[in-house]
Amino acid sequence: MLQILCILIGRLLLMGIGAYELLQQLYYRLHALASRSYDYWQCDDKHEFVFIRAALDKLQKLPQHLVLVIAPDDCYVNDVLLKRVFGYAQFVGIPYLSVYDKRTPSTGYVHLSQLCQTMASDTNDRHFLWPPKEIKEQIQHQHSNGCCSKTAVVTNGTVNGYASKGPHYTQLQVYQIDSADGHALIADVCRELYETRKSAQVEGMLKERQTLHDGINAMLSKRLGFVVPEPELGIVFARQTCTYGLLPWHVRFTEFHTHRGGRYFNAKSFVKILYKYARCEQRWGK
């Protein structure tokens, strides 16, 4: 009974937040109509992206690869929130983003093919681009009219992991990670190494640690179907910090931040996580 009451209160709060956002957008539209401002009318997220752009000047580095982990019991992360996070990541210049959704279709699982553009030249059905072509053209049209930004369009995300101080409009590469890509994938690679342990290739890999490391990486990437940098930053949408079996080999040095389920996630939440990541320094045992 208590759990049902908590869920009901949470839904009422979300409805309140939605009503507040609707009234805020209505206020912006009325203000744009009164001031006869076409740019202000077109730009829904103007204030959020202005806030992110100002925050970029204070960030010393950005992750090359961001991963989103969604708990199996989460009921708040939907397609709207995912598109919002995709927009933030694409705007700051993060080139790669992965989504690891532990839910089932009946409990809120979101397939990225419903949100993103599929890769026309790629046979991998888990590799997508954000924003889709039609949204990308709309964004470029808005920016060419001076909406939201007076900054020139740049084509590079980050340079050696450090922020390049500006918004970016190239498409974000998005990957969908499945549960089968976790421990089972490593077990499959280990089984193959054991079965071929007497081959010249495996014996050569075992002679040097780095060679073995690179070999396992290549075998895992082949099974995953895509080659991307290891995630440097992860956002966990759950009540507690847990990776739920996310790519154990690839997230050895990933910095995870938990966003508790039910809390509103906006530009301020995203920038706060980027600040924490930028202040963190991997000392590698020094």
- The reply to whether 50 falls in a domain is no
For the chain, how many structural domains are there in total? 1
Q: Which residue, among 50, 52, 49, 33, has the nearest Cα to 41 in the 3D structure?
A: 33
Local structure of 200: helix, strand or coil = helix
**Predicted confidence (pLDDT) at residue 82 exceeds the cutoff of 90:** yes
- The string of pLDDT tens digits covering residues 105-158 is 888 899 888 888 887 555 667 889 988 765 555 555 555 544 444 333 333 334
The pLDDT assigned to 171 comes to: 86
- The reply to whether 189 falls in a domain is yes
Q: What is the mean pLDDT of residues 203-207?
A: 83
- The reply to whether 166 falls in a domain is yes
Residue 83 banded pLDDT, cuts 50, 70, 90? very high
In whole angstroms, give the CA distance from residue 135 to residue 160.
29
- The reply to whether 86 falls in a domain is yes
Residue 174 banded pLDDT, cuts 50, 70, 90? very high
Q: Which residue, among 149, 167, 140, has the nearest Cα to 57 in the 3D structure?
A: 167
What's the CATH code of the domain at 166?
A: 3.40.1180
Q: What is the mean pLDDT of residues 167-194?
A: 81
Residues of the domain holding 203: 58-279
Residue 28 banded pLDDT, cuts 50, 70, 90? low
- The string of pLDDT tens digits covering residues 232-274 is 999 999 988 898 888 877 888 899 999 987 778 889 899 999 9
pTM of the model: 0.70
- The reply to whether 83 falls in a domain is yes
The pLDDT assigned to 271 comes to: 93
> Between the CA atoms of 81, 83, 224 and 72, what dihedral angle is there, to the nearest 10 degrees?
10
**Predicted confidence (pLDDT) at residue 48 exceeds the cutoff of 50:** yes
Percent of the chain with pLDDT over 70: 78
